[in-house]
Amino acid sequence: MKVLGILAASVLIAGSLSACSTQTAPSDEFKVVTTTTQVTEFTQAVVGDTGTVTGLIQPNQSAHSFDPSAKQLLELSQADAVVINGAGLEPWLEDALTAANFKGEVIDATQGYELIDQDPHFWTSPINATWMVDTIAQGLIELRGEQSGSAMEWNAFTYNGKLRALDNWIKANFEQVPAAKRLLVTNHDAFTYFVDAYDINFLGSIIPSFDDNAEPSAAEIDALIALIKQSGAKAVFSEASISPKLAKTIASEAGVKVYSGDNALYSDSLGVTGSDGETYIKATIHNVTMLMNAWGYPVLPLPAELS
Q: Which of 280, 26, 27, 30 has its CA nearest to residue 140?
A: 30
Residue 110: is its pLDDT beyond 50?
A: yes
Q: What are the tens digits of pLDDT across the range 22-38?
A: 333 335 799 999 999 99
End-to-end CA distance of the chain: 41
Confidence tier at 7 by pLDDT (50, 70, 90):
very low
Q: Give the distance from CA 189 to its chain's centroid.
A: 13
Q: Is the dihedral of CA 169, 84, 87, 150 positive or negative?
A: negative
Superfamily of domain 3-170: Nitrogenase molybdenum iron protein domain (3.40.50.1980)
pTM of the full predicted structure? 0.89
Q: pLDDT digit string (tens) for 165-177?
A: 999 999 999 999 9
Span 177-306: which CATH code? 3.40.50.1980
- C-alpha–C-alpha distance, residues 34 and 81, integer Å: 8
Q: Same CATH topology for 3-170 and 177-306?
A: yes
- Where along the chain do its domains lie? 3-170, 177-306
The H or E element containing residue 31 is strand 31-34
Task: Using DSSP, state whether 41 is helix, strand or coil.
Answer: helix
